[in-house]
Amino acid sequence: MKIVVLDGYALNPGDLDWQGFEAFGEVTVYDRTSFTDKQEIIDRIGEAEAILTNKTPIDEEILSAVAKLKYIGVVATGYNVVDVAAARKRNIPVTNIPSYGTDAVAQFTFALLLEIANQVGVHNASVQQGEWQRSTDFTYQKTPLMELRGKTIGLIGYGEIAQATATIAHAFNMKVIYWNHRPKKAQEDWAKQVSIEELYQQADIISLHVPQTSETEKMINQKTIARMKEGVILLNTARGGLLDEAAVADALNRGQIFAAGVDVVSKEPMTKDNPLMSAKNCIITPHIAWRPLETRERLMEIAVDNFAAYLAGKEKNVVNKERA
């Protein structure tokens, strides 16, 4: 069996291996494949019966040109890079990797919040540049510092990552409120479900944990920002398209939003003209919340397990179960 990995570098930049897949057939690994050159994608898939993709798009046109393809494994949780309907029509199962990075992403969400609250990077840079050595005082600060105790964090979405984030927030003695598009009762008595309007009005920190859909795209926009507390902190480790980035940048520059911490943007790699690049008090990281070695090891294990289950006729983590 021929197996092609279209963009393996993101998952495995050299600290993992592909042996799990090599046990099933001939594996060809491309570190990167053009997201826009469909002919390159088609040529690289070629005669393959199975492919793995992280962000390389697979659409109707591509599927119509690769007749031998029988399996698509998305090595990520989000699978919007694949035209699932087109795959369904051809009876091609599409699998994804749910729940592999719950703790890592929750941890990173708080890393962003703690950087905003304590500005460790700014103060370390100050010391490294000699300011403390030149100071006449034993202590000084470059920015306002913040204690999280008693602050209200509002979680938009209450899936596994949001719940893990809530647990961390509770450990910091924060108040936890959340909104979910389908009512979901929290198991913990310290997490309170509220309406989206109540969340906007009450939260000192808003953290996004929903998928990007037609309903959630640009849900943080000029109108919704106007309903938030002045000086709110905004965190996004979910999907970049949830933000109207121009509106968020404007609110940061005006102080309506005190600070933002984002690990995702609408177009990745980030473009030079993204308005968040020049916005005040905006921390941006290059989509790394999911990237700890331990997390990627888990992702690889699940990807191999998904493929083994498919070959055994016991499909799992299939996102298009009802097929032609």
* Catalytic residue chosen out of the listed positions 239, 291, 296, 298: 239
Active-site entry in 26, 47, 188, 268: 268
Rounded to 5 degrees, φ, ψ at 60 are -55, -45
- How far apart (Å, rounded) are the C-alpha atoms in residues 222 and 33? 36
Q: Is 239 a catalytic residue?
A: yes
- Helix axes of 120-128 and 102-118: crossing angle, nearest 10 degrees: 60
Selection from 257, 252, 199 nearest residue 231 by Cα: 257
* Of residues 61, 1, 15, 11, the one with CA closest to residue 32: 11
> Has 301 been annotated as catalytic?
no
Say which residue the tokens 């035209």 belong to: 83
HSE-up (13 A, CA, CB side) for residue 4: 21
Which residue among the candidates 44, 209, 287, 291 is catalytic per the annotation?
287
Residues involved in catalysis: 239, 268, 287
